[in-house]
A and B are shown apart, each in its own frame.
Chain A
Amino acid sequence: DQQVKQNSPSLSVQEGRISILNCDYTNSMFDYFLWYKKYPAEGPTFLISISSIKDKNEDGRFTVFLNKSAKHLSLHIVPSQPGDSAVYFCAASAGKTSYDKVIFGPGTSLSVIP
């Protein structure tokens, strides 16, 4: 059973527009969420995270929104750039310690069209 879901396997967005990547989770014990960006044949790179005590975290062009009641989070990229084209993984863990496992979603492939 998939605990972290990204129901859109792919997304295409025009350069300069907003990219919205969605993520849903089922485990109510999750309280720390992360977004990673991954290029082919490379390891994921950390983008942004959010703790369950917040509903929004912003870092430059990237903003993550968390709706705990809906068990839903989203990553907004504004404005989208061609270099943002990659696979984006949503991940969740039940805590932020050295012993917490991170559960990844299946990823959404974002294509930003120039």
Chain B
Amino acid sequence: GAVVSQHPSRVICKSGTSVKIECRSLDFQATTMFWYRQFPKQSLMLMATSNEGSKATYEQGVEKDKFLINHASLTLSTLTVTSAHPEDSSFYICSAPVNYGYTFGSGTRLTVV
């Protein structure tokens, strides 16, 4: 089946630094990638939708300048958390549409200290 590889799986960074999360579609072309964030015991919240070759669409309340999304190719989408703060600590997951629905990356646990 269609696989999205997400890296890193875990990252700890200092407050004020930036972290880049990558999602690669391994055996298919992902023209669209959804980026989600999950808080403990809460649902996956859609942050933004990236489309290859165009600007990402952000959901209401998500800071575009803080969560930079790039979708430069059909197999790679990245999310960069800029100037990270402890409140950005969360579980971030990417997802791409496939023929049966959607496939997900394995997620990235970000901890900002």
- A101 to B43: give the CA distance in the assembly, Å: 14
Identify which of A44, A103, A105 contacts B93 (C-beta below 8 A). A44
**A89 on the interface (CB 8 Å rule)?**
yes
Q: Is the CB of A42 within 8 A of B106?
A: yes
Q: What's the interface size class on A, roughly? A: 20 to 34
* Stretch touching chain A among B13-21, B61-69, B80-88, B95-103: B95-103
Apart from A43-B95, A43-B104, A99-B32, what 17 extra A-B contacts exist at CB < 8 Å? A36-B104, A43-B93, A43-B105, A43-B106, A43-B107, A44-B93, A45-B104, A46-B100, A46-B101, A49-B100, A49-B101, A89-B43, A89-B44, A98-B31, A101-B49, A102-B34, A106-B43
Give every chain B residue within 8 A of A99 (Cβ-Cβ). 32, 49
Give every chain B residue within 8 A of A45 (Cβ-Cβ). 104
Within 8 A of B (CB), among A27-52: 32, 34, 36, 41-46, 49
Q: Is the CB of B34 within 8 A of A41?
A: no
- A103 to B34: give the CA distance in the assembly, Å: 11
Q: Is the CB of B44 within 8 A of A46?
A: no
Give every chain B residue within 8 A of A71 (Cβ-Cβ). none
Interface of A is mostly: loop
Q: Is the CB of A102 within 8 A of B43?
A: no
- A106 to B106: give the CA distance in the assembly, Å: 18
**Which residue in chain B gives the minimum CB-CB distance to A105?**
B43
**A96 on the interface (CB 8 Å rule)?**
yes
Distance between A110 CB and nearest chain B CB, rounded to angstroms:
14
Distance between A23 CB and nearest chain B CB, rounded to angstroms:
12
Q: Is the CB of B102 within 8 A of A34?
A: yes
Give every chain B residue within 8 A of A106 (Cβ-Cβ). 41-43
- A107 to B109: give the CA distance in the assembly, Å: 19
- A92 to B9: give the CA distance in the assembly, Å: 26
**A25 on the interface (CB 8 Å rule)?**
no
Identify which of A32, A41, A97, A104 contacts B44 (C-beta below 8 A). A104
Give every chain B residue within 8 A of A96 (Cβ-Cβ). 101
- A46 to B100: give the CA distance in the assembly, Å: 9
Identify which of A42, A49, A89, A101 contacts B34 (C-beta below 8 A). A101
